[in-house]
Amino acid sequence: LQYKFRPHEKFRPYGKLGLGAYFLGLDDGSEVLLSGGGVNWALGAEYRLTSFFSVGAEVFWKDFDYTQQRVGDKKNDFTDLPDPITGNTKGIMINLTLH
């Protein structure tokens, strides 16, 4: 979900909220895959330079845990982890958007 606070202005702040599923494959030859889910949050703003181009920036948080793992290449052979692995992420993103 995204909500723009001033949708018809050149400067448009916004907020985002979403749910996600996450997968992480390890690149060490062990064929281990982790899976889990969580919540995404973001606050940002964009400035429309022309009718077809805008620039923006946002601060985001991804709060999620990996709760299952798969070892080997069996497609549906996931097992629950004894303790979830935290995969939380925070960052800043610069956006260049063509409309």
Residues 6+ apart with CB under 8 A from 76: none
Which pLDDT value is given to residue 24? 86
Average per-residue pLDDT in the chain? 90
Which pLDDT value is given to residue 70? 84
Q: Does the pLDDT at position 78 exceed 70?
A: yes
Which H or E run contains 24?
A: strand 11-25
Which pLDDT value is given to residue 31? 74
pLDDT in tens, 27-73: 666 677 889 999 999 999 999 999 899 999 999 999 999 999 887 76
Residues 81 and 65 sit within 8 Å (Cβ to Cβ): no
